[in-house]
Every structure is written in structure tokens, then in C-alpha cells.
Chains A and B, each alone.
Chain A
Amino acid sequence: MTSRVEALQTFKRDGRIVIVGASLAGLRAAESLRDEGFTGSLTMIGDETAEPYDRPPLSKQVLTGWVPATGTTLPRRRDVDAQWLLGTPATGLDLADNVVRLADGREVPFDRMLISTGVRARPWPVAAEAALTGVFVVRTREDAEGLQQAIAAGPKRVLIIGAGFTGSEIASICRERDIAVTVAELGSGPLVGALGAMIGEIAADMQLANGVDLRCGVKVTQLEGDAQGRFRRAHFSDGSTVDADVAVVALGGIRNTEWLRDSGLAIGPWGVACDSGCRAFDLNGLVTDDIFVAGDVARCPHPIYEYRFISLEHWANAVEQAEIAAHNMVNLQADRWPHLAIPTFWSIQFGVNIKSVGVPTFADEVIVAQGSVSEHRFVAAYGYKGRVTAAVTFNNAKWLDHYRKLIEAAAPFPPAQPTPDQPADAKPMPVDFPGPLLLSQDATVVVTGHDPSERRVTAVRP
């Protein structure tokens, strides 16, 4: 036996692994490590006090009042036999000595560690206004519990700031409960930043049809409170105001990387950079051996998207990346897996199941390939320079897998062959994203293989 194999076996038997961030990615990684035969010591460090719980229901089932905020604890796939240090944030990482420092002063040594500290909600920028009673963000179960109670109390009007997925979902639930809602969005329509202008228009129609007071292209400039410190009125950049008793700040997330500031790792606003095997990069762009990253906090290159570093706040990505990271933590170089999954996402709003596959922002054109936009049952395919790069479905999820395969195969865009449900007037139009377009040439790789152990990309040679 070579020494490398022996060293790995010793590590798998008695090594020490620390996971910082005990939520979805952290839990799934821990389970996979045990599945892979790691029997050494496993420590889970988390700054929340609860057992790992699921967040997507927090803006859905929980806000309808059906499911209590405390009722989304994640099922365990297996026993992980870990030491759980909860309610104790990590405050530092020392790569010279391989120790994690905790807020309570303790130091936890490790041989390998996983960073899965995720994202927190971006707060309202003015602290005094953010502190008004009735102003909420939604990231944790405590947030959701507070908002649920405020909604259940029957507010006259709810103001939602930001019409991304979370904001739109909350607006939808308020309307279901027959509560008046104003949605304020700086962009041209809901979901525009993620899915482009065409879907934005459809999403805007859905909101209007459901009685949302939707105001796009305006900025909320001030949240005003009453004498008791309760939120009562919002001021907009166009000079108008809205009276409401609840405000939900849904302006996206901030990656939890501050604790790594002095670690020497490659951190930034988009998270911790890592390779497609989930190994963290240091500031010099050198890949580390013992530090791995997974979930919302990771920023990872994807060959299909020209090796660009992609940051995702997607549930499925957290699970898949955690499994890949765990596998790679306890395997030798030759047996490592790349994280090649094509991103997928879902959202439920206004009774419609919205799903996406691929990276819709990596596109220059979009076409309604199947179904009917007016019925809110359709597939939109996205393309960049003549190849399919993403697809979005509204109540048409059963077709999504087909488009995933088109993306993996760098299939031509627009899809050439007709389908029975192709709209008569289907033609590609510009995607029109608010930000600068990503540059790209032709496809350089396609994904092959189906199991993690055989999935690889192969180069496309013209």
C-alpha cells in the first residue's frame, strides 16, 4: 500500500473534521461523510441554537399559518454521531495551525474542515428604521415566526420591499389571506434580476391580477415610525407614500464570510471561492488541501458556464455541493468528483410552480418554447450565442429535465424541432437583464456521464 492510501485510511478512521455552519449544507455533508465511511471525530459548529432546519417553507407554508415556524426541522438521513456546538459562532480560522476559533474563546482543532456558513438577510440600511416594530426580514425561523404573527394579526397593509423570489412569495401569501399588499421594486418588474424582462412582465401580470399594488422603478427612501416606534408609513423616491403596518425587507442576502476575514482565504461579497471539487482558494488563487466549501456561501466555477465562478442561493445546490465536498474530503485526488450539477431552483407564488434549470442570466435570448404564456403554463428556453443555457417553467415542470439535458449537451438555440404545444408565434427575443451581459463564445464543453463517479465534461472540438 502506498503511503498516501495509508494516510487516507488513518484519517478516515481517526481524523478530525469540523463543519462550520450547521444548516442544510452542513447537515447533508455530515451525513455523507459518515456514509463514506468516515469514523473519526466530527464537530458541527453553528451560531443558531436550533437543530438544522429547512428555510424554503419559511416564506411559504409557515406564513400561511399552516405550519409553525418551529416545525421545519430537517429529517436526518442517518445518525451522524457528531459533537454539536450550537449557539456558538465561529469567529476566526487559523490556517497555520488548523484551528477554528469560537466566540466563547474556545479553539477547535481539525485536520479538514467544511465552511457552510451560508447567507444572512440583507437588513434595511438605516438601523433605526430597521428597528421599528413591524419591520421584518426573512431568513431564520425566528424571523418567520415574527412575520407570521404580524400577518395573522390582520394588518391593514403589508409593504414588501424587493420583488425577488422571497418578496414575491410573501406578497402571494398575503393576497391569499386577503391582506392588502404593496410591492416596491427598483427594477422594471418582479423576478427581473434572476429571470429577465420577459418573465418579469409575466410575473408583474400575476401580481396585478391577484390584486397586488405593484410599484416598479421606485425606491423606498424612508421607513417612518410612530411615537411608539411602530412602522406606519413608507416614502418613495417618486415622492409618494404608502401607509402600512408591516414592512418586509426582501433585498437579498449577505454572505457570512466576515469570520474568515483574516484567514487568508479568497473571500468576497460573492462568498468563498473554491474549485469545482469544493476546495477553497486562498487569496493568491492557490487551492487549499484541507478547507472545503459548500452551499450558499460557496462560489464555484462551472465548466458549462465557461468556468465562471457562480454563487447560488439554491436549496438543491447546497445539498449537491455538500455531498461532493464530503466525498472529496475523504478521497484521494484520483477519486474526487467535480460539482457539475446544472443549477435548479423553484418558487411557489400565486398558485404557480416556477422552476428553473441552468443559469438564466447567462443568456442573450429567450424564447417561449412550449405552452401558453397567458395561461401561465409554459416553458421558456434561454440561449447564449446559439446554445441553450437555461430554461424556466411555469406550471410545466415535467419538461424541465429535457432542457437540463439540452444544456448539458450544449444543444442549439433556439431548439430547432417543433413540439405539439409550441406557440404559433414563438420567436427568440432579447433577454434584457438589468446588469451588464456576460461575455461568452461558443460552447467549449459538454457534460457526460450520469452518476457522480462518472460525470465529467468533455471538450467540444469544432
Chain B
Amino acid sequence: MRVVVDLSRCQGYAQCAFLAPDAFRMHGEEALMYDPNPDDSQRDQVLRAAAACPIQAILVEQLEGPAMTVEARRS
């Protein structure tokens, strides 16, 4: 599962760290460090956390299927 937090908007409310403590951790009082690729087993918690963010700073990818078909790739 892919996650990114817009930390320039995040205000350290820690709501995410309550609800998905394995994926979102507070580093000190206010700084958020998170797992950008949490295990699928945490899906339920991560979605709860994202919904609870008061400034909606957490983006969780909800798409299914492969991201892209790559045309050329250096081996």
C-alpha cells in the first residue's frame, strides 16, 4: 500500500499515530515519521488514520492494477 503525507501541511495533530500506530509514529512531540509502504495487513488502520487527519494531509493510493507499462528501461 502506498502512502504519502504532505508534511508541509501536517500540523502534528498525531491523530494518525493513534489509529495506525505501526504505520505513523511521532518523532518527538510533533514530528511525524511514517511508513510510506505499510503492509496490506494494516490497510484498515491506515484508512482510518487517513480519514481522521484533520487537515487531510494523508494520501493513500486506492488504485488497483499495475502502475504503468514501461516502454524502455535501462537494464
Contacts and interface: CB of A to CB of B under 8 A. Distances in A.
A–B contact, 8 Å CB criterion (strictly below): yes
Interface of A: 49, 51, 54, 56-57, 60-61, 64, 66-68, 71-80, 82-88, 104, 314-316, 319, 344-346, 348, 350-353, 355, 377, 395-398, 400
Contacts of B63: 76, 78-79
A54 B8 contact: no
Contacts of B28: 350-353, 395
Contacts, number: 112
Contacts of B32: 353
B33 A88 contact: no
B62 to A, nearest CB: 8
B7 A61 contact: no
B13 to A, nearest CB: 8
A348 B27 contact: yes
B72 A60 contact: no
A396 B29 CA distance: 10
B72 A88 contact: yes
B31 A316 contact: no
Contacts of A88: 72, 74
Contacts of B29: 351, 353, 377, 395
Contacts of B6: 315-316, 319
Contacts of B33: 60-61, 64, 66, 348
B74 A75 contact: no
Main secondary structure of the interface of B (DSSP, over half): loop
Given A54-B4, A316-B8, A85 B30 contact: no
Contacts of A345: 8
B7 A87 contact: no
10 contacts: A49-B73, A75-B60, A76-B61, A77-B59, A82-B68, A84-B69, A85-B72, A86-B72, A316-B6, A395-B29
Nearest to B63: A76
B9 to A, nearest CB: 7
Given A75-B2, A78-B63, A344 B8 contact: yes
B53 interface: no
A206 B27 CA distance: 15
A457 to B, nearest CB: 21
Given A71-B36, A395-B30, 15 more contacts: A51-B68, A54-B4, A61-B33, A61-B36, A78-B63, A80-B68, A84-B69, A84-B71, A86-B74, A87-B73, A314-B8, A315-B7, A319-B6, A353-B32, A400-B11
Give the most central of B6, B30, B69: most A CB within 10 Å: B30
A75 B59 contact: yes
In order of increasing CB-CB distance, the 9 nearest A-B pairs are: A351-B28, A87-B74, A75-B61, A353-B31, A71-B37, A75-B2, A316-B8, A353-B30, A348-B31
Contacts of B9: 316, 344
A400 B7 CA distance: 13
B3 interface: yes
A346 B8 contact: yes
A90 B30 CA distance: 41
A82 B69 CA distance: 8
A61 B37 contact: no
Contacts of A56: 7
Contacts of A315: 6-8
